[in-house]
Amino acid sequence: MDDLFAKNDALGVAELVRMRKLGARELLDGTLANLRKLNGTLNAITDFYDDAPPPPEGPFQGVPYVIKQLMADCAGHPTTLGSKFFAKQPVAVADSAAVARMRKAGLVIVGRTNTSEFGLAPTTEPAFGGATINPWRKDLSPGGSSGGSAAIVAARGLPMGHATDGGGSIRIPASLCGLFGLKPSRGRISLAPIGETLAGAGAQHCVSISVRDSAALLDATAGAEPGDPYGIALPSDSFLDATRRAPGKLRVAFMRKPVGGRALDPVLVKAIERTAKLLEELGHHVEEAAPDYDAAALNAAFWMGMSANTYTNIQLRSAGRTPGPGDLEPVTVETARRGGLVSANDYIRGVQTFHRTGRALGAFFEKFDVLLSTTHARTSLPLGTVRMDGTLEAFDEQVAPMTAFTAVCNATGVPAMSVPLEWTDDGLPIGMHFAAKLGAEETLYSLAAQLEKARPWRDRRP
């Protein structure tokens, strides 16, 4: 059982269950035992669920799965948001829509994974519950805010795990943990019963070892719920089918530095150049180009929206309770305080900045199919680099290099993925970031499968 997920992805394990070569109960018990063992070192899972019902038939029949403690509810349990203040209440009365679809696809939910408080930080070091360790090196963070799921999948405790993404929180931990992580287009997966998150910037999906698992899970979870604020048409073929066909000759733009940002570490520049060369060798047209938008204005609008949403969500979820000393981390407190001061005029201007940037990116993707960069502007993230116990100004500076390439995709709603194609000289993973136009997940999955075949990563593990 220890090597099951090192040798098989989720679809492969489900096939073993269907063929009765592996019992569902044996799989569940063995996985839970191994997860508890791994968690003693990683601190990735906050809660274990031992009372899982028998799984229905589906593409992932019997495969154990974990849900992040953010943006998704499991019936009968609290969703803590990585916060002491919400550790015990409110308790969810029902599964959120995406979780219900995951269960219908045959996934067996065995626990919840660690996250930074309210998902504010691109690391996973909440005061409530403590830091999650990157299995690649114990002094490093797995990134965040989906670091709990990423750490446990990187350690091969599971083949994939739930992740959410408001500014890079699927792709950043995927990069730092050597995994595949795709953020879907705005509206691709319903967030019901909650509504719009972060002015449309929020999304959810998974981190995984294989590309096809991610695609098959998106097939199972994609689609709007009645009354959703956003929706996007489903493709004529499945996302899994997209992984089985060649992407054709794509027009690829690559950028050596963030828009409006500082020069990258030479290690990252070389990684971009090597990936660009690989894409050329695979037959794609590659040239250096970058979209044109006001990065400073977008960043200001992004954090204003984040602040306002933090303030409002605390008010809504607290049901009249008032946070006491130590219930919330200092950066969360200050973020919420600032959010309470945001005027309607300023908030609308911020949303308009999102839309203006979206149009600039839309025009860029009329000329190019894919935009390539690294996933973030650091080679690694030592624990303690991003702090939630200091000032908001210091926090902003610490976060900036982690979201330099990712947040624009959230603000504009376009899909993007981190693919583990490069490595530092000392063996740490470097995720390569690919963005595409709204609704173009098929293009990304087809390209990712081609890259996975050309430069496989499954056997590169901590």
pLDDT of residue 1: 66
pLDDT mean over 403-417: 98
Has residue 461 been placed in a domain? no
- Please give the Cα distance from 334 to 339 (Å, whole number): 8
Average pLDDT, the chain: 97
Residue 110, pLDDT > 90, answer yes
- Classify residue 356 by burial, with Cβ atoms within 10 Å: 0-12, 13-18, 19+: middle
pLDDT mean over 115-134: 98
pLDDT tier for residue 75 given thresholds of 50, 70 and 90: very high
pLDDT tier for residue 195 given thresholds of 50, 70 and 90: confident
Residue 27, pLDDT > 70, answer yes
pLDDT of residue 54: 85
- Threshold 0.95, pTM exceeds: yes
Residues with Cβ within 8 Å of residue 70, at least 6 apart in sequence? 79, 81, 82, 115, 118, 119, 145, 164
Has residue 13 been placed in a domain? yes
- Please give the Cα distance from 444 to 243 (Å, whole number): 9
pLDDT of residue 61: 97
pLDDT tier for residue 51 given thresholds of 50, 70 and 90: confident
Q: At what angle do helices 392-403 and 330-339 cross, to 10 degrees?
A: 90
- Please give the Cα distance from 266 to 422 (Å, whole number): 13
Q: What is the pLDDT of residues 253-305, one digit of tens each?
A: 999 999 999 999 999 999 999 999 999 999 999 999 999 999 999 999 999 99
Percent of the chain, pLDDT > 90? 96
Structural domain count of the chain: 1
Q: Residue 379: which of 423, 433, 435 has the closest Cα?
A: 423
Catalytic amino acids?
A: 68, 145, 169
Has residue 363 been placed in a domain? yes
Q: Please answer whether residues 402 and 122 qualify as being in contact, where contact means their C-beta atoms are separated by less than 8 angstroms.
A: yes
* C-beta atoms surrounding 23 within 10 Å: 13
pLDDT of residue 262: 93
Q: Please answer whether residues 284 and 250 qualify as being in contact, where contact means their C-beta atoms are separated by less than 8 angstroms.
A: yes
pLDDT of residue 459: 96
Has residue 205 been placed in a domain? yes
pLDDT mean over 311-338: 95
Has residue 196 been placed in a domain? yes
pLDDT mean over 427-444: 98
Has residue 460 been placed in a domain? no
CATH of the domain at 170: 3.90.1300.10
pLDDT mean over 127-134: 97
pLDDT mean over 377-391: 97
Residue 70, pLDDT > 90, answer yes
Question: Phi, psi at residue 147, to the nearest 5°?
Answer: -70, -30
Has residue 462 been placed in a domain? no
Query: Residue 246 belongs to what domain range?
Result: 4-454
Has residue 329 been placed in a domain? yes
Residue 44, pLDDT > 90, answer yes
pLDDT tier for residue 455 given thresholds of 50, 70 and 90: very high
